[in-house]
Amino acid sequence: MDPRIVTLRPRPPWFGGTLQTARALRWPIAARLPPGHRLWLPLADGDALAATLHLPEAQPPARPLAALVHGLTGSEDDPCLREAAAGLLRRGFPVLRINLRGSAKSQPRSTSHYHLGRSADLADALSALPEMLTGKGVVVAGWSLGGALVLHLLAREGERRGMAPVLAGAAVCPPLQPELAFETIDANAVFGRALLALYRREVLAVPARDLDEDLRRAATRATSLYEFEATVTAPRFGYPSYEVFTELERSSDALPRIRVPTLLLMGGDDPLVPATSLDGVDWDECPSVAPMLVRGAGHCGFYDLGRENLSVRVIGAFFEGAADGVGTTGAAALAVADTDASSSPVADPALA
């Protein structure tokens, strides 16, 4: 299907892509969550990912485990992840918020770092979970870079051997065309320098065995995200060039290989991942993907007038359809997006 185009009615004061993005990634008032359980999920090379498990009120849980994955320089505490976790818990899903290898919360047990192609880390981590958590299957959602990792995971069936069945996936504002996203981020006066500085600090903070002095110097000298990926990430992980790295890890190319129902949410005014990332995708070749382009959503924002933001409502409907065995999963989620989101904003500041 071609992307469904929806126009968002923004929740004041989050007008425009820049403010929507800032709200999603850096809002200091976090959505409330019940106490969680810290897990360390082992990887094949001895590293481990920090994750927080939350269980719904209904015990035992009647729905599959929902695994959530953050983006570049993010963590399990990104506002967009916490809001999605709260919404899925309300719908009866146990929720696992995963921190990628080398990110701040996983750093104590990391000797390397995540990148666009490291979807096998997610497969390893989810394969380590006991049957009591995954016996009803798994649904997986990722934001930004985490969304790209989810798309690769869903497309690479070989990586998922040993995992519980994945019933559905969702990718929110993934960099479908990596070089286009890097170029757009570098040109952004608000987010470009900040993301590069945070990324550099995160990478250099890990006591990494695969980051030699030449690569550390390159990381220190890089003046753009493009330069960082070209002179640090690509050679560090064995890619012959930046061009090969972006071509092999192009998540738009993963879409036709996905056979799991997958929701793709993109922002029409995304200041980091432009809507033109959708150009060139043959949607007739992507029968398992339900794409939606939301005007006014920014990057991972989607803050409209609803009690929950639009992305939480749509992902919730999509995952509920998959969990309940409804064949119209994509149609149900798109129908939610088409409804009027003019319900009164909640008074709870954690959801404001």
pLDDT of 329: 57
What is the model's pLDDT at position 332? 56
What is residue 308's predicted lDDT score, i.e. its pLDDT? 97
Encoded tokens for 134: 């995954």
Residue 213 neighbours by CB under 8 Å, 6+ apart: none
Percent of the chain, pLDDT > 90?
88
H-type alpha helices, the chain: 17-26, 79-90, 119-127, 131-134, 145-155, 178-186, 192-205, 213-221, 225-228, 234-236, 242-248, 310-323, 329-338
User: In the predicted model, is pLDDT for residue 351 greater than 50?
Assistant: no
Residues carrying an active site annotation: 144, 270, 299
6-64 per-position pLDDT tens digit: 999 999 999 999 999 999 999 988 899 999 999 999 999 999 999 999 999 877 778 99
**307, 346 contact by CB (below 8 A):** yes
Quote the pLDDT of residue 30: 84
The single-letter DSSP state of residue 164 is P
Model confidence at 333, pLDDT cuts 50, 70, 90, reads low
Mind listing the domains of the chain with CATH numbers? Answer: 4-175+257-340 (3.40.50.1820)
Pick the range with the lowest mean pLDDT from 116-130, 235-249, 338-352.
338-352
Over residues 310-320, the pLDDT tens digits come to 999 999 999 99
Strand partners, 95: 54, 66
Q: How far apart are CA 107 and CA 246, in angstroms?
A: 25
Whether the predicted pLDDT of 344 surpasses 70: no
pLDDT confidence of residue 337: 57
- Whole-number pLDDT of residue 207: 93
Top pLDDT among 343 and 61 is at 61
User: Is residue 330 scored above 70 in pLDDT?
Assistant: no
Give me the torsion for CA of 7, 13, 14, 19, rounded to 10°.
Answer: 140
DSSP code of 37?
E
- Compute the mean pLDDT over every residue in the chain, rounded to the nearest whole number: 93
Which residue is it, tokens 């959505």? 31
Burial group, residue 123, by CB count within 10 angstroms (0-12, 13-18, 19+): buried
Question: Percent of the chain beyond pLDDT 70?
Answer: 92
Mean pLDDT of 101-124: 97
